[in-house]
Structure 1
């Protein structure tokens, strides 16, 4: 049985990650990131490549 600890929703417009799930404490549910960094742009490219 596969248990999902959390789900993450990325918003590159607002530079925000929202995490939901039993393993996420409320204080950590919203995180912010710099969407203009090379790692963030690489992640966005992976998301675009996976879009059907």
Structure 2
């Protein structure tokens, strides 16, 4: 996952998706990644859910 992929999913959820939701959506798309990694990447690009 690139931070851009996470940002797209985050924006589609209107800022309400957390790391676990984004992890689930990525896994459904065939991108295997854990929620700890997603949480770390979200922190790097300063994405915080509502």
Length-normalised TM-score, structure 1: 0.30
Structure number with greater Rg is 1
- Larger RCO, structure (CA 8 Å, separation 6 or more): 2
Length-normalised TM-score, structure 2: 0.31
Greater share of helix residues, 1 or 2? 2
Greater share of strand residues, 1 or 2? 1
